[in-house]
């Protein structure tokens, strides 16, 4: 059971770094709104020419959950997912999976995944797309946290009463 | 299992229409055994690629030939391409496969593939055999459903031993394998109902 995965072990240091970079790009684009991603791509001067490897399509995946770390797994519900796969001209293949039914969102995710793997495009993508999206996500997270913090109830009186005894 | 996408090329540009057209061609080939059916539109791997895109999905285990006899399936490029476009599993043994893609150069014994069982003869495997050409080989006569009188074909690269096995395949009807011969972008269907007669 505990056999090492040859594919993972065979990955060299740079390959692991690339995997991490791709995962970050996937996460950022999947979590961002389609319109924000589109706005970032629209600001780029030029984009690599790409051809679809298979047509973009929508499907359902079953989301599974469990209560606590040791609960039984149960089917939480189905989630629509759009997926795309594109190849940059003479370059790598990128795949994109995003929640929802937005073809463009999935195609942009696939394009970004391909660009992250290409030495010629990686830095441009980071500057023009990934960094702004990361900032926007951090801002959104911060705003949500502040909204939530405003509703926090502080039971300081009870705590103090107990501490003084 | 990770699929290496670096060498994977595109499939049908218009999957639904192209697959429907291809399905029609395969149907024609199998209902008129021995006729050479030309395929239109091309994808990588020629006729076998087009047949795969049309007929395979996640429920059809595929066997790609076994050169070394150790259960190791060789054609990595085709296997990756199939796994990406069709999502089909690779069968662990020849018996489990519902579709088999082979080259005429390394044809194994046909009786190792699933010929269906008496209750479910439809579960039998379909063999797709790639040949150098569909004409110019040893002539063979065919008789049976879908053939008015007699049809003669002469595909290249098939041995007398293969034809004997194909005739034995007919003998166990309604069990048996369905065979599609391919070369470039043309196919010949040899369903299990076709009787194979030596020329003469």
Query: Does B85 contact A54 at a Cβ distance shorter than 8 Å?
Result: yes
Query: Does A54 contact B84 at a Cβ distance shorter than 8 Å?
Result: yes
Q: Which residues of B touch A (CB under 8 A)?
A: 2, 5-6, 8-11, 15, 84-85
Tens of pLDDT, residue by residue over A143-164, are 999 999 999 887 766 655 555 5
Q: What is the mean pLDDT of residues B20-49?
A: 90
Query: Does A7 contact B84 at a Cβ distance shorter than 8 Å?
Result: no
Q: What is the mean pLDDT of residues B57-66?
A: 88
Return mean pLDDT, chain B. Answer: 88
**Smallest Cα distance from B162 to chain A, Å:** 37
- Selecting from B5, B11, B85 the residue whose C-beta is nearest the C-beta of A93 gives B5
Which residues of chain A does B44 touch, with a Cβ-Cβ cutoff of 8 Å?
none
* pLDDT value, residue A162: 58
**Smallest Cα distance from B119 to chain A, Å:** 34
* pLDDT value, residue B70: 47
Q: For residues B54 and B108, which has the higher predicted lDDT (pLDDT)?
A: B54
Touching check for A55 and chain B: CB below 8 Å? yes
Which residues of chain B does A11 touch, with a Cβ-Cβ cutoff of 8 Å?
none
Query: Beta B62-63 vs B99-103: how paired, if at all?
Result: parallel
Q: Which of A56-65, B15-24, B60-69 has the lowest mean pLDDT?
A: B60-69
Show the domains of chain B with their CATH numbers. 15-198 (3.40.50.11310)
Tens of pLDDT, residue by residue over A21-36, are 999 999 999 999 999 9
What residue ranges in chain A does DSSP mark as E strands? 50-65, 74-88, 93-99
Is 90 exceeded by the pLDDT of residue B78? no
| Mutation site for B-interface testing, chosen from A5, A22, A51, A54 by largest number of B Cβ within 10 Å | A54
Alpha-carbon span A146 to A148, nearest angstrom: 5
Is 50 exceeded by the pLDDT of residue A1? no
Number of Cβ pairs < 8 A linking chain A and chain B: 23
Q: What is the mean pLDDT of residues B59-84?
A: 77
Alpha-carbon span A121 to A130, nearest angstrom: 12
Count of C-beta atoms within a 10 Å radius of residue A24:
14
Q: What is the pTM assigned to this prediction?
A: 0.79
> CA B159, B161, B162, B164 torsion: positive or negative?
positive
Domain boundaries, given as residue ranges, for chain A: 11-143
**Smallest Cα distance from B112 to chain A, Å:** 31
**Smallest Cα distance from B25 to chain A, Å:** 22
Report the residue of chain B nearest A86, measured CA to CA.
B10
Q: Give which of B137, B180, B164, B133 is closest to B33, Cα–Cα.
A: B180
Residues sharing a CB contact under 8 Å with residue B185, sequence separation 6 or more, in sequence order: B38, B39, B40, B42, B46, B47, B50
| Res. B149 pLDDT band, cuts 50 70 90 | very high
């Amino acid at each position: 059971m505990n056999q090492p995965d040859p594919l993972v072990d065979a990955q060299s240091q740079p390959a692991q770094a690339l995997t991490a970079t791709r995962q970050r790009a996937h996460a950022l684009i999947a979590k961002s709104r389609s319109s924000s991603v589109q706005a970032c791509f629209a600001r780029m001067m030029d984009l690599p020419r790409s051809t679809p490897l298979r047509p973009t399509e929508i499907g359902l995946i079953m989301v599974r959950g469990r209560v606590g770390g040791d609960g039984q797994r149960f089917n939480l519900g189905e989630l629509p997912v759009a997926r795309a796969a594109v190849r940059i001209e003479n370059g790598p293949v990128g795949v994109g999976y995003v929640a929802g039914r937005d073809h463009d969102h999935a195609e942009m995710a696939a394009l970004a995944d391909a660009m992250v793997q290409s030495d010629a495009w990686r830095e441009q993508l980071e500057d023009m797309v990934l960094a702004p999206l990361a900032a926007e996500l951090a801002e959104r997270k911060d705003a949500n946290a502040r909204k939530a913090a405003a509703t926090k109830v502080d039971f300081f009186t009870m705590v103090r009463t107990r501490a003084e005894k | 299992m990770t699929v290496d996408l670096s060498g994977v090329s595109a499939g049908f540009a218009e999957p639904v229409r192209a697959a429907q057209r291809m399905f029609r061609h395969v149907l024609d080939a199998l209902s008129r055994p021995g006729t050479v059916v030309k395929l239109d539109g091309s994808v990588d791997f020629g006729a076998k690629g087009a047949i795969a895109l049309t007929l395979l999905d996640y429920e059809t285990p595929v066997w790609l030939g076994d050169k070394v006899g150790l259960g190791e399936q060789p054609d990595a490029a085709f296997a990756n391409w199939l796994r990406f476009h069709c999502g089909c599993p690779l069968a662990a043994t020849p018996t489990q496969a519902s579709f088999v893609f082979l080259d005429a150069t390394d044809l194994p014994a046909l009786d190792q593939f699933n010929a269906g069982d008496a209750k479910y003869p439809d579960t039998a495997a379909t063999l797709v055999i790639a040949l150098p050409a569909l004409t110019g080989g040893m002539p063979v006569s065919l008789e049976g459903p879908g053939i008015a009188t007699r049809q003669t074909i002469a595909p290249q690269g098939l041995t007398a031993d293969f034809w004997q096995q194909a005739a034995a395949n007919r003998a166990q009807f309604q069990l048996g394998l369905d065979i599609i011969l391919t070369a470039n972008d043309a196919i010949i269907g040899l369903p299990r109902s076709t009787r194979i007669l030596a020329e003469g």
